[in-house]
Structure 1
């Protein structure tokens, strides 16, 4: 039998195949990087809606209503441009350059290289070569809405008689609500304010916290095998972290659990 065993030699060997056992390669989990789509920006030619003062810089457009923008005229006045189709951005004469002056105030320059200001009669013009007190605007954000306040404490609006751009009303109502759209490149990251441990699905979050708090005597992760439905329920009820700690304590895998 011993000679037979030597001849049989086990499994078939192919030419060039090594006798050394093959190491199994770990398959890395592919993280889905599905880009976040801003449908509102897409419908405006990829001009996105600003939501805070520091975003109002570079190329911008001031929108009244839906896809109608403040338009510069060659005589230094401004009017409301014609409505654009869905998916279309503002025209060149409707594009302004925003300049941050302070944490609260900005200035706007037209395509004619002149700064917007409010005249004594409340008319908005673009004839200034430099930024002074009259060329400064304060974006006022409140409850997801925006109004632009001029140096005269009046808000930007449209004259209903001739579509001229004015600032004559000291109280911001529906007619004074605007949207300032930007075209500068931005990185959309919905998780930027979410702690690293909180990123991922329920299972991944539990693994993240185990890695953070586990006592690594044997360098092996101890993950609860209980159903994660209880964790999902706890998250909805606001007791997510307590539930995670309870699961880790049952596994005796947390340095804060006795």
Structure 2
């Protein structure tokens, strides 16, 4: 790893008799919430994002070895490494498999030819089975941001550099065995992190926030003069919570923000 450098700030020299100028407040751009960040890596792969947990290995998946190269099914029941794709392109139809859960921390893969991927005793990956048996079960291994796929014989899937055939012959996972399992299904949003007061349409959301934090000396509900359009923009930008706080801070009746 490269050396880490610490940045040192140097203050401006103040001469005798000079009055220090008041510091200008810099308004930092509010960062977007994690859920609204754009997955640039997925865009590079045509919207196919990298799977990092066993629960996401369901439905349509592809197996990427190297950069933008995917395992491709052949009509003879064997597999090969497909040609590289351009940035922004996803896998071809023959490079897309259907994944199913197959026991604890294991999954099965069906090719576009309707056959399940298995492995021979010699370590050749084949797709000729109509059902899932022990040889058709695969286990993903996720460690330090890397992914490898282990066969039922405890050997890891890789691509033979001599003929681009797909094999599972190594007992250890190294660079040749590292891959990316990719999915194009919509990621599920964890609704549990949404505060109760943020449920409903945007007009209701602001009323909920005001009710939660505002004092009612004169029993009247005070809302910010800004329209809902400002809240709509904030929601798209991922800054809804911060915008609601800003709007509350402008209301004198707010008990927390002044």
1:196 partnered with 2:195: yes
1:78 partnered with 2:79: yes
The range that moved more, 153-162 or 44-53, is 44-53
Partner Cα separation in structure 1 for residue 160 and residue 81 of structure 2: 9
2:41 partner SS:
helix
User: Over residues 158-209 of structure 1, what are the superposed CA-to-partner deviations in whole Å (9 max), with x where a residue is unaligned?
Assistant: 011100000000101111111111122x1465x7575639x9xxxxxxxx99
2:70 partner SS:
strand
Partner Cα separation in structure 2 for residue 72 and residue 122 of structure 1: 17
Q: Which residue of 2 aligns with 1:172?
A: 173
Work out which of the two has the higher radius of gyration on C-alpha atoms and give 1 or 2.
1
Distance 1:72 1:60, change over 3 A: same
Partner Cα separation in structure 2 for residue 119 and residue 104 of structure 1: 21
Q: Which residue of 2 aligns with 1:124?
A: 125
1:175 partner SS:
coil
1:54 partner SS:
helix
**Where does structure 1 lack aligned partners over 5 or more consecutive residues?**
1-31, 200-207, 222-252
| Segments ≥4 residues shifted beyond 4 Å | 32-35, 191-195, 208-221
TM-score (norm 2): 0.62
**Where does structure 2 lack aligned partners over 5 or more consecutive residues?**
1-31, 199-207, 223-254
For 1:182-193, what aligned pairs fall within 5 Å after superposition?
Answer: 182-184=183-185, 186-187=186-187, 189=189
Partner Cα separation in structure 1 for residue 143 and residue 191 of structure 2: 23
Following superposition, the deviation at residue 121 of structure 1 comes to 0.4
Following superposition, the deviation at residue 102 of structure 1 comes to 2.9
Q: Which residue of 1 aligns with 2:151?
A: 150
Following superposition, the deviation at residue 36 of structure 1 comes to 3.7
- RMSD over aligned CA atoms reads 3.3
Q: Is the 8 A contact 1:53 1:103 kept in 2?
A: no
Per chain length, whose mean CA-contact separation is higher, i.e. which structure has more relative contact order (CA < 8 Å, sep 6+)? Answer: 2
May I ask how many residue pairs the two structures share in their alignment? 187
For 1:1-258, what aligned pairs fall within 5 Å after superposition?
Answer: 36-184=37-185, 186-187=186-187, 189=189, 194=193, 196=195
Q: Which residue of 2 aligns with 1:14?
A: none
Following superposition, the deviation at residue 87 of structure 1 comes to 0.6
Partner Cα separation in structure 1 for residue 67 and residue 221 of structure 2: 57
Partner Cα separation in structure 1 for residue 216 and residue 137 of structure 2: 59
TM-score (norm 1): 0.62
